[in-house]
Chain A
Amino acid sequence: MKKNIRSLLIIISIGSFWGFLEVLLGDMLRAYNLPGGEIMAVIAVSLMVATRMAFKSFGYQIIMGIIAMTLRCFNPFGSCLVCGGIAIMAEAVVFELLWPLVAVFKLEKEDLSQTVSFGFIVFFLCYSLGYIVTQVMTPLFANGLFMLDDLVSFLPVIIAKSLIPGIIGGFIMPVLFYLRQIEVEQLKPLILYPAASVLTACFWIIPQLVVKV
């Protein structure tokens, strides 16, 4: 029970951190015409992989996604809120659906070709399917005019854009497999509880202050 509370607290903090990065870093990158979507997807999936390896529980990444999406939607810092929120949630759901493949294929850190391939597939699909879901859902929410042609004509570009996150994922996944031993039990409640609470509060408050400034 105590372990669950600790895990949940860390997940809430990391979910808030994800949302915080989406709000500030994501929009900053896009403002400078840098590939904000790709970079944020790589960061998001890396956070999900790391937390999944640490806690080994289904559903935690969805919780992270919900928290990040909520933070994104409550911090109108310039960018498209609907698209951002939908993309975050879609990435979390796709990740949860893909992760059971680790058990199916019995992935181990020693098997580099397997972990590199898995990294490429997970990062590629999280980004591309997140993008596709956003393209479907945004018009439905905005003006109710989703047309399949709008999506199909842009699919080649979405697939092309997903290549870079996929390649980066191929490098990141084996590294995360090597670093997977994070012992949640070793984190002392005396430090963990206040630290997680303060950090979470900062991740929620700082974007609001930036908007005001």
Chain B
Amino acid sequence: MKKTILPIIAVFIFGISLTFFITDCTKKNDTENVKLEIGVNSYDFPGAFESIAQKTIQEDTGFPLDELIKTSGIDSPQSKQYIITGADGYQKTVSWDDLTQGIITPERKSVFEHLPKGFHVRDIIKIEIEQ
């Protein structure tokens, strides 16, 4: 009996991870024609924000995230938190202070001056606003 426990656990984990692996592989990651959602609004990206001056952080150049939020017309943005979500489901929550030090590149990647690379969300599809 004891000899079968490890193989059973391994097969069980293998089955679950294979399911997620296949789901992940079949997911479409084409974000070229996907609109960028900010709050309840959708925008063409980067087209809708081309009037905003870009800035460079480390080696990346892009649109300041705080300017994007201001453009979307949200009330008192300083008091809110922001959930940045990528096409693969990866998401990170940041504060307004963080946003003021961050950019979104034309390739839809977030980069922050003061936060580690774990906060570089790729293929961003939406920025949700939390109270």
Q: Which residues of A approach B to under 8 Å, CB–CB?
A: 79-83, 101, 105-106, 111, 113-114, 116-118, 120-121, 124, 134-135, 138-139, 141-143, 145-147, 149-150, 153-154, 156-157, 159-163, 166, 170
Cβ–Cβ contact A166 & B14, under 8 A: yes
Tell me whether chain B's interface is mostly helix, strand or loop, or mixed.
helix
Cβ–Cβ contact B93 & A80, under 8 A: no
Interface 0/1 of B85-99, CB less than 8 Å to A: 100111111110010
Q: Tell me whether A160 and B117 are in contact in the complex, defined as CB-CB below 8 angstroms, given that A113-B7, A147-B83, A154-B90 are known contacts.
A: no
Contacts of B85 in A (CB 8 A): 153
Cβ–Cβ contact A124 & B83, under 8 A: no
Give the B interface residue count (CB, 8 A).
Answer: 35
Cβ–Cβ contact A157 & B90, under 8 A: yes
Question: Chain B residue with minimal CB distance to A137?
Answer: B118
Interface 0/1 of B1-33, CB less than 8 Å to A: 011011101110110111011011100000000
Cβ–Cβ contact A142 & B119, under 8 A: yes
Cβ–Cβ contact A105 & B13, under 8 A: no
| Contact of B54 with A by CB under 8 A | no
Can you give 12 A-B contacts (C-beta < 8 A)? A79-B117, A113-B6, A113-B7, A117-B11, A118-B6, A121-B6, A121-B13, A139-B118, A142-B115, A145-B93, A160-B24, A162-B17
| Contact of B72 with A by CB under 8 A | no
Contacts of B24 in A (CB 8 A): 156-157, 160-161
Q: Which one of B3, B10, B88, B98 contacts A111 once the chains associate, using CB atoms below 8 Å?
A: B3
A81 CA to B115 CA, complexed, in Å: 11
A154 CA to B83 CA, complexed, in Å: 13
Q: Which one of A80, A114, A146, A166 contacts B17 once the chains associate, using CB atoms below 8 Å?
A: A166
A111 CA to B2 CA, complexed, in Å: 13
